[in-house]
Amino acid sequence: MKNKFPTDFLWGASTSAYQVEGAWNEEGKEPSVQDIKSIPEGTTDFKFASDHYHRLEEDVRLFKELGLKAYRFSISWSRVMPNGKVNPAGIAFYKRLIELLKENDIQPIVTVFHFDLPASIAEKGGWENRETIQAFADYCQVLFDHFGQDVPLWQTINEQNVMALAGSVIGTSNKSMKEKFQENHHMLVAQALVTSNYHKGNYNGKIGPAPNIASVYPASDKPEDQMAALYMSALRNWLFLDVAVFGKYNHNAWHLLEKIGAAPVITAEDQTILAEGTGDYIAFNYYNTMTVSSYFAKEQKIDQQSGFGIPGFFQTVENPHLPMTEFGWPIDPEGFRFTLNEIYSRYRLPLLVTENGIGASEQLIDGKIHDDYRIDYLHQHIQQMALAIEDGVEVIGYCPWSAIDLISTHEGINKRYGFIYVNRTDEELLDLARYKKDSFYWYQQVIEENGLGE
Ligand code: BG6
C-alpha cells in the first residue's frame, strides 16, 4: 500500500486564520465578520482561538516534529488590509510564518480567503456589492507581491459552495437565495480575476479553487432519485468547479437557480473574466458524501455536511449504510475514493485534498489524548485515497483538518480536529499549552513511511 504514493507527495495538515490565530484586534487588525457575529450559546468566540499568533515558533516546531511536508493555512484579509490599507504588522506576521516553514522544509500552501471577510467590507454590502471584487483583487495583489515567489500553491476561496449554501450556519451570510447567489457570482468573478492576475505575474506556482466536494448518492434505484442526485451535485459541487475550470456555469445548476428565482445577474464582461481566469489544479475539502431523494417532505435544517433540500429538486436523507461521528456527520471513506474519481474524470487536473478529518469532544487525561477514532478515520481515508491513486487519479497531497486544535465554525472548541491538543475549553482559556495526541505519533509514522505500510 505504501508505494501507491508518489515520492514528492505532500503530506500536510490544515488550519484557517480566524479559527487558530486569536489576536483578533492586535497590531492593526480590524475585526472580520467572524469576530463580530453572534455565537451559539455554550461555544467560545474566535477572539483568542488557539493563540497561534503568539505561539508561531512553538507551533511550527511541532509541525516539524510531526514531519509535515506541507502546511495549508489561510491569510487573514482583515489583518493584512484593515480598512483597505496595507498593515505592515500583518505582512510581517505571515512573512515570519512562511520563513519559519521554509527553514523547517515545510512547503507553505496558502488560501487567501477562508470565511473571514473584513467587517468594513461587510458593512458596505460585502460580496453583494460589486466593488468587493476589486477590493479582493487588490488584497490578493498585495499577497502576490509579498509572497508570490515563496508560496508555490495558492487557493483563492475556501468552500465558496458552503458560504453560498450554508452561510447562515458558518456565519458568513444570512441573506435570501437570490442575494446569496448574486454574492456567489461576484465571488466567482473575483476568483477568476485574481487567477488571471496571478498567471500574468509569472510567479512560478499554481493557483486553484478550494470548494467542499461531496459525491451525491441517489437514495434508491428509482430514476427520479438519480435525477435528484444529479441536481444536488450540480448545485453543490459542479457549479463551483465548472466555473473554476471551464469558465462557465453548469447547465443543471443554472436551470435550478432560474427555477427558484435565484439566478444572478451576469454581465458580458463577467463572462469574459470567468472564461479567462481558470485554475491550474483543484484543491478540495472532503468530509462525507450526501444521499438524496426526489421526494421533498419538509423544510430541512441546513448543515454544511448533513445537507439541505430544494423543494421540487431533492431532499437530503440519512444513509443507513454509513456510521456517524458524534457530531452527526456521516463517515464514508469509500465515498472519498468515489469523490476523488468523480472530480478527476470530470476535470483531469491534479487534486490536492485540503481538508478531511473527524471532530470529537476530548478531555486531557494525564497529559494524553487517546484518539483512536481519529487514527481509524484517517487510516481508512488514506487507504481509499491510495486506491483512488491506483485507479489513476492524480493526487498531489493530503492535508487533514486540522494541524492543531482550533475553534470549529459553529460548535466551539468542544469539537476538536487537531493532531495537537490545545489546553483550553469553551468557557476558560487555561494555559493554552500544547499536547501531542496519539494521532500525532501515528501520522508522524505515516509520513515517514510515505503511506500506511504493508
Ligand atoms: C470546513 C471548513 O467546512 O470544515 C473549516 O473549511 C471547518 O473551516 C471544517 O472548521 C469543519 O467544520 P466544523 O463546522 O466542524 O468546524
**99 is known as an active-site residue:** no
Out of 157, 170, 172, 326, give the residue to mutate to test ligand 1, the one with the largest number of ligand atoms within 8 Å of its CB: 170
Mean pLDDT, rounded, for 178-186: 96
Q: Is the pLDDT of residue 297 over 80?
A: no
User: Which of 21, 159, 355, 362 is flagged as catalytic?
Assistant: 355
46 CA → ligand 1 middle, Å: 14
Mean pLDDT, rounded, for 46-55: 98
Range(s) of the domain holding residue 415: 10-449
408 CA → ligand 1 middle, Å: 6
Q: Is the pLDDT of residue 337 over 80?
A: yes
Q: Is residue 221 part of a domain?
A: yes
Q: Is residue 86 part of a domain?
A: yes
* Position 453 confidence tier, pLDDT thresholds 50, 70, 90: confident
- pLDDT given at position 280: 98
One-letter amino acid of 236: R
Among 113, 111, 118, which Cα is nearest to 34's?
118
Q: Is residue 454 part of a domain?
A: no
Q: Is residue 3 part of a domain?
A: no
* Position 304 confidence tier, pLDDT thresholds 50, 70, 90: low
Q: Is the pLDDT of residue 454 over 90?
A: no
pLDDT digit string, tens, across residues 219-240:
999 999 999 999 999 999 999 9
* Position 167 confidence tier, pLDDT thresholds 50, 70, 90: confident
CATH number of residue 15's parent domain: 3.20.20.80
Give the chain's domain count.
1
Phi (first) and psi of residue 154, to 5 degrees = -120, 145
Q: Is residue 1 part of a domain?
A: no
Q: Is residue 354 part of a domain?
A: yes
Q: Is residue 4 part of a domain?
A: no
Q: Is the pLDDT of residue 152 over 70?
A: yes
Whole-angstrom distance, CA of residue 437 vs CA of residue 371? 7
Phi (first) and psi of residue 104, to 5 degrees = -100, 15
* Position 301 confidence tier, pLDDT thresholds 50, 70, 90: low
Mean pLDDT, rounded, of the chain: 95
Across 174-183, 223-232, 276-285, least confident range: 174-183
143 CA → ligand 1 middle, Å: 24
Q: Is residue 101 part of a domain?
A: yes
- pLDDT given at position 169: 84
Mean pLDDT, rounded, for 124-138: 97
**228-234 contacts at long range (C-beta below 8 A, 24 or more positions apart):** 228/292, 228/293, 228/294, 228/313, 228/314, 228/315, 229/292, 229/314, 231/256, 231/310, 231/313, 231/314, 232/290, 232/292, 232/310, 232/313, 232/314, 232/316
What's the CA dihedral at 211, 449, 416, 373 to 10 degrees? 110
- pLDDT given at position 305: 67
pTM as predicted: 0.97
